[in-house]
Amino acid sequence: MNRGKDQDPFTRAKEYAFLLLKFRLRSEHELYSRLKKKGFPENTIRKAVSFLKEKGFVDDSIFAQAWLNSRLKRPFGLRRITQELKLKGVGREVIAEQVRGLKESYSEEKVVEELARLKLDKMKSIEPQKARQRLYGYLARRGFSSAAIIDVINKLQRQP
């Protein structure tokens, strides 16, 4: 196969996009941005991304679902994951649809409680109020809702 500058831009753009997709799924916006950064002409980028969408290599719905599942394993909260998806250019409707489908099997409070217990075990020597503040900050940075964090912290403090 002939590679390099003598290939037409569309073929080079597709090959570069396939190279990126080989490592992980990408959103349509991510691919567009990476191709633009690589210096491909605007019409070539649109044509390449459109081709990849038609052939099923790029689908923001599938990307969002995969991203959600991988980030929940870390574990991160839905708020943080939603923000990450927005930054990756996934549409609000697609994000909302994926989160709605997930809420039936996902209990944020259980995850927060599990993380809180692990973190509190490591902070036994710290003054309770300071430990509470650190725990709140840690869980908030991971993207969990304030309500879930406060409920779990209060629940754990009531336990002996």
Encode pLDDT of 86-129 as tens digits.
999 999 999 999 999 887 788 889 999 999 999 999 998 999 89
Encode pLDDT of 11-61 as tens digits.
999 999 999 999 999 999 999 999 999 999 999 999 999 999 999 999 999
Residue type, 10: F
Mean pLDDT of 50-75: 95
For residues 117-155, one letter each, b for 16 or more C-beta atoms within 10 angstroms of the residue's C-beta and e for the rest, the string is eeebeeeeeeeeeebbeebbeebeebbbbeebbeebbee
Q: Domain coordinates of the chain in residue numbers?
A: 9-54, 60-103, 108-158
Residue type, 61: S
Which of the two residues, 91 and 1, has the higher pLDDT score? 91
The helix/strand/coil state of 89 is coil
| Alpha helical stretches, state H, the chain | 9-23, 28-37, 42-54, 60-72, 78-87, 92-103, 108-122, 128-141, 146-158
Structure token digits, residue 154:
């209060």
Q: Are 139 and 149 in contact (CB under 8 A)?
A: yes
pTM of the predicted structure, to 2 decimals:
0.85
Q: Which CATH number fits domain 9-54: 3.40.30, 1.10.3470, 1.10.10, 3.30.310?
A: 1.10.10
Structure token digits, residue 32:
């567009």
